Amino acid sequence: MGNADNIKIGVKGKCYVAPVGTTMPTTPVAAWGTGWVDLGYMHPDGLEEALGEDRTEVMAWGEEAPVKTRVKSRDGSFKITFLETTADLLQLYYAVEADDMTSTAAAVGPPAVPQFLSFGTGQASPGIERALGIDIIEGDEIERIMIARVDVSDRGNRKRSADDASSFELTFKPLAAPSGGQAVQRFLTNVSLT
């Protein structure tokens, strides 16, 4: 018979980024340490995770089905839409490093000028690599996903209108871990092995 306690619902979530190599938490309830930045409010649609595999199939004479398969590669993606406009999200969306942005302080004037951030885009770049952390939370149930190294593989269109928040839809693609370890580490509370 089934157990309703095993049904997990992502009621809310948090998403963090840090420079690649930043120390990750060692438990699902440990605080995100120095270097991790909270990316703020996210769209109610939450997180969309996709997994994929590329396989080689070995066929044998006289057999209709493969006799053996081998995984050539595994990949995945994590898609989230963020609602806040921050320097960290602008860096990820426009593939611009912080060193290539300029923050100009407000001036009283005359004329008065508000504080503003400026940067340029349009040149090819190698992408913006970060470490990524995601907490999926339902009461005291936490699923923590920690990805050692990601790049933004897809960016949704930004819409600016009076009907909706100007959002940042980002799809993160896990890359090989810098030390050769696990690319994606997961913690799930209240899930037993037996």
User: Which CA distances in Å does 167 have to 27, 44, 80, 171?
Assistant: 31, 12, 10, 13
User: In this structure, is residue 110 part of a structural domain?
Assistant: no
User: In this structure, is residue 133 part of a structural domain?
Assistant: yes
Per-residue pLDDT tens over the stretch 26-42: 999 999 999 999 999 99
Give me the pLDDT at residue 6, please: 83
Per-residue pLDDT tens over the stretch 35-88: 999 999 999 999 999 988 888 999 999 999 999 998 887 788 999 999 999 999
Domain span including residue 88: 11-103+121-188
Instruction: Provide the CATH number for the domain around residue 54.
Output: 4.10.410
Q: How many domains does the chain have?
A: 1
User: In this structure, is residue 139 part of a structural domain?
Assistant: yes
Whether the per-residue pLDDT at 125 is higher than 80: the answer is: no
User: In this structure, is residue 114 part of a structural domain?
Assistant: no
User: In this structure, is residue 63 part of a structural domain?
Assistant: yes
User: In this structure, is residue 86 part of a structural domain?
Assistant: yes
pTM of the model: 0.86
* Residue, of 141 and 53, whose pLDDT is higher: 141
User: In this structure, is residue 2 part of a structural domain?
Assistant: no
User: In this structure, is residue 111 part of a structural domain?
Assistant: no
Give the burial class of 158: count Cβ atoms within 10 A of its Cβ; 0-12 exposed, 13-18 middle, 19 or more buried.
exposed
Whether the per-residue pLDDT at 124 is higher than 70: the answer is: no
C-alpha torsion angle, residues 22, 25, 31, 37 (rounded to 10): 30
